[in-house]
Structure 1
Amino acid sequence: MARVSDVREQMIEGGIRILERDGVNALSARKLAAETGTSTMAVYTHFGGMTDLIDAIATEAFLRFTRALTEVEQTDDPVADFAVMGFHYRQFALDNPQRYQMMFGTSAESLNRFHADLTATGNPSARADFEVSFDALVAVVRRMVDAGRIRDDGDSVTAGRLWSITHGAVLLEMAGFFGREDRGLTEILTPLTVDLLVGMGDDRERVLESFVKAAARLG
Structure 2
Amino acid sequence: MGIVERKEREREEMRELILEAARKLFLAQGFDKTSIRNIAEAIEYSPATIYLYYKDKNELLFSLHEAGFQKMMQEFANVAVVKDPFEKLVALGNQYLKFAIENPELYDLMFIMDAPMETLSCREEAWDEGARSFEFLKTTIAECIQVGHFKNTVDIENASLTIWSFMHGLLSLHLRKRMAFFEDDREMERIQDSFKLFVEMIRCSM
Q: Does 1:101 align with 2:108?
A: yes
Q: Which residue is 2:60 aligned to?
A: 53
Q: Which residue is 1:2 aligned to?
A: 7
Match of 1:195 among 161, 176, 201: 201
Residue identity opposite 2:65 in structure 1: A
For 1:80 and 1:17, the matched residues in 2 are separated by 36
Residue identity opposite 2:94 in structure 1: F
Q: Which residue is 1:184 aligned to?
A: 190
Q: Per-residue displacement from partner, 1:44-89 (whole Å, max 9, x unpaired)?
A: 1110122222221122122222223333242222222212211221
Q: Considering only aligned residues, what root-mean-square deviation do their CA atoms show, in Å? A: 2.9
On the 8 A contact 1:8/1:46 being kept in 2, the answer is yes
Q: Which residue is 1:155 aligned to?
A: 156
Runs of 4 or more, structure 1, over 6 Å off, are none
Residue identity opposite 1:103 in structure 2: M
Q: Which residue is 1:205 aligned to?
A: none
What TM-score do the two structures reach when normalised by structure 1? Answer: 0.70
For 2:41 and 2:73, the matched residues in 1 are separated by 30
Q: Which residue is 2:3 aligned to?
A: none
Residue identity opposite 1:166 in structure 2: M
On the 8 A contact 2:62/2:120 being kept in 1, the answer is no
Q: Which residue is 2:146 aligned to?
A: 146
Q: Does 1:91 align with 2:91?
A: no
For 2:99 and 2:34, the matched residues in 1 are separated by 21
Q: Which residue is 1:167 aligned to?
A: 168
On the 8 A contact 1:104/1:110 being kept in 2, the answer is no
Percent identity (aligned): 18
Deviation at 1:163, TM superposition (A): 0.7
Residue identity opposite 2:162 in structure 1: R
For 1:14 and 1:146, the matched residues in 2 are separated by 46
Q: Secondary structure at the match of 1:163?
A: helix
Q: Which moved more, 1:160-169 or 1:54-63?
A: 54-63
Q: Could you say if the C-alpha distance between residues 145 and 64 of structure 1 is closer, same or farther in structure 2, counting changes exceeding 3 Å?
A: same
Q: Which runs of 5+ in 1 are unaligned?
A: 116-125, 202-219
For 2:127 and 2:80, the matched residues in 1 are separated by 26
Residue identity opposite 1:105 in structure 2: I
Q: Could you say if the C-alpha distance between residues 189 and 14 of structure 1 is closer, same or farther in structure 2, counting changes exceeding 3 Å?
A: same
On the 8 A contact 2:59/2:119 being kept in 1, the answer is no
Residue identity opposite 1:163 in structure 2: W
